[in-house]
Copies of this chain bind each other. A is one copy, B any other.
Amino acid sequence: MVKVKHNQLKILCSNCSLRELCLPVGLNPGEFDQLNAVIRQSRSLKKGEYLFCAGDEFTSLFAIRTGFFKTNIASHDGRDQVTGFFMSGELIGMDGISNNIHSCNAVALEDSEVCELPFDRLEEIGQEIPSLQRHFMRLMSSEIVRDQNVMLLLGNMKAEERLAAFLMNLSHRLHSRGFASNEFILRMSREEIGSYLGLKLETVSRTMSKFQQSGLIKVDHKHIVLLKPFELNKMISNNQVA
């Protein structure tokens, strides 16, 4: 492995366990090297630290190696809309491409590590590696599709359906990373869940209690067990959330 200062190992996409979820999907060995050359020293963030803020100049995308992030838009009067939760293997910062300024904040919800991908370098190797370019566009498009599904959730669903969709979405994403999908720790507060789902924190709390009373889930603060994931799915399959 390539050594760098402070005895840290240089991050290599080719070794990364997330390579099949992240940007380098489908690259050959030579292309891995090119992508590796672009990645800056990975950066560590403590819980609560900002990766970037709304208004910051956009220079890089960030691939999450470990940890958990939220993005949010803050409004003048202090209200705040969480626009997404991001976990390992996901790319964050694509909002900034449109006008070279970030339109949202990105905050670490636990101690995290990210790979920094300077966007101008990424554009350059995108010109050289069409499959990378294509995959990157796919990722942006997925973000659009994801956002549109959130619009469906916010526009059409009741509180219970929203929470069920939220839990099942987390479950699926954890599953595709090889984690237990029916038992996990929430990294965000009730208020952050509520903000994402267009609900107040009290409603989130009440709905969780209701699910627990119905035997659908087990709630121990941030520790969630999905007891009847199939039932939860039925609550939302009427509304087709991908």
Indicate if the CB atoms of A152 and B97 lie closer than 8 Å: no
Interface size on A, residues (CB 8 A): 49
- The answer to the question of A213 belonging to the interface, with a C-beta cut-off of 8 Å to chain B, is no
Q: Are A151 and B147 in contact (CB under 8 A)?
A: yes
Per-position 1/0 for A137-161, Cβ under 8 A of B: 1111111110111111011100000
Given contacts A137-B137, A195-B155, A239-B76, contact A144 B145 (CB under 8 A): no
Q: Which of B103, B126, B239 contacts A77 (CB 8 A)?
A: B239
Residue contact B140 to A137, C-beta cutoff 8 Å: yes
Contacts of A155 in B (CB 8 A): 81, 154, 195-198
Is A167 interfacial (CB 8 A cutoff)?
Answer: no
A127 to B154, CA, bound (A): 38
What chain B residues lie within 8 Å of A141 (beta carbons)?
Answer: 94-98, 140
Say whether B76 contacts A144, CB under 8 Å: no
Interchain Cβ contacts under 8 Å between A and B, 11 examples: A76-B239, A94-B144, A98-B138, A123-B133, A126-B133, A127-B127, A127-B130, A147-B147, A150-B151, A151-B151, A155-B198
Closest 6 CB pairs of A and B: A97-B141, A147-B147, A154-B154, A98-B141, A155-B198, A98-B142
